[in-house]
Structure 1
Amino acid sequence: MASTQHTHHAPHAKAHRVLLDEHLPVDHHLSQVYRVGAGLMGLVLLAFGILGLIDNIGFFNTGNATIAGLNTNGALSVLSVCIGLLLFVGMVIGGNFASTLNMVLGVLFILNGFLGLGFLDTEANFLNFRIQNVLFSFVVGLLLMWFGMYGRVGSALPHDNPYWKARHPDEAAHEEQARQR
């Protein structure tokens, strides 16, 4: 005879799932952090890419062409311009879009750093990476992730933070009721 087990959860122990695309109030100050992060990183990448394109380096050249101490070629320059422009789009849109874009691109930069590290001194190194490019990719990735996650994750978010409210709706409702009394 099979028995069925029922578990009872207290109402206050509900699990609340917070999604990355939750709505951030338009005027929330966190949006400015996401915009500034996207804009700064976009500016750096755009400048690097444009300088590389102006230098007329071959598209898949694997020589020693450098811009600001980083090896480059035409492909890396075009890629840098495209990602820089994408970050500017994130800066203009702001809010959760900019935050999520920063996080996703940050992870991609970290992964690209590992790929570049694996391709050093091989024929598969079509972006002409050297160790300084790998380190740059890691730094940009970490900065983008930091800008994207700022105010979204952490154990000490303030109670007026929209992400804290989304994770703790019962407590947020209780605090709102207490504030209205």
Structure 2
Amino acid sequence: MHTVHRIGAVLLGLGLWVFAILGLARGLEFFSTRGQSVLGLSSNGLLSVISLVAGAVLIGCAAWGGKQASTVTTLAGAVFLLSGLVHLAILNTPLNLLAFRLPNVFFSLVAGLILLFTGLYGRLSGGLPPDNPYRREHPMRTRRPGPEQQLEDEERPVDAEEQRYREAEMAMGEGHPTPEQTQIVMRDQARRRAVERARTRRRTEGHA
């Protein structure tokens, strides 16, 4: 999974570098709103520099780690989408400082969607597998056993009551529990809180 995030960040970073280097090699005007064609897209000196820096950040995050690459790739996807929408509104105006044209807008929107999918791959699913690196960060799963322990527990036979509780907890984690499953989990949480309060009270009385 981290490999997917890293590869996505590196590919985008390298693509931005190629686009930026070709633009800088042509000596494009820095603040021209007309721009010149580079790889089928309009560009100027400012856009080339921004692309160069953004590519370095993406490649650096991919080298740093998969989680960092996932986060930065997701942010880059959001920025691409926002940039496409904003520039669609300011095309052919003095505010178009990056010399965008309609192909740039289409590219930003499509690239943004792809980057969001790549960056969020494996992070938003409700049914995260035990070996998913983001599993412990997922809501309702922070106090559950580790991957190895969960796999061992799944291999052991369970009684009907424990099975119902597991199914209820899973449904709560995935966000679609039935009223009965919600009551099962709430009752268990209340029982755990009562046990913890009793333990705390006994420890307090023992130190008194």
After TM superposition, the score normalised by the length of structure 1 is 0.76
Further displaced range: 163-172 or 38-47: 163-172
Flag the structure with higher helix content. 2
Asked which structure has the greater CA Rg, the reply is 2
SS at match of 1:71: strand
Aligned residue in 2 for 1:74: 45
| Structure number with higher relative contact order (C-alpha < 8 Å, ≥ 6 residues apart) | 1
Secondary structure, in 3 states, of the residue corresponding to 1:66?
strand
Q: Tell me which residue corresponds to 2:123.
A: 152
Asked if 1 retains the 8 angstrom alpha-carbon contact of 2:33 and 2:94, the reply is no
Cα distance in 2 for residues equivalent to 1:166 and 1:106 = 22
- 1:59 maps to what in 2? 30
Partner residue of 1:175 out of 126, 150, 158? 150
Indicate whether 1:110 and 2:85 are aligned. no
**1:165–1:172 CA contact under 8 A, matched in 2:** no
Structure 2's unaligned 5+ residue stretches are 157-208
Tell me if 1:35 matches 2:10: no
Q: Deviation per CA, 1:26-58, whole angstroms, max 9, x where unpaired?
A: xxxx22111101000001111001100001111
1:75 partner amino acid: L
Q: Quick one: distance in 2 between partners of 1:165 and 1:44?
A: 34
Separation in 2 of the partners of 1:170 and 1:108? Answer: 34
Aligned residue identity for 2:56:
L
Q: Is the 8 A contact 1:159 1:172 kept in 2?
A: no
Tell me how far apart the structure 1 counterparts of residues 24 and 45 of structure 2 sit (CA, whole Å).
6
Instruction: Kindly report the root-mean-square deviation, in angstroms, between the aligned alpha carbons of the 2 structures.
Output: 2.0
Q: Deviations over 1:63-105 (max 9, x none)?
A: 3510111001101111111101111111111221111111111
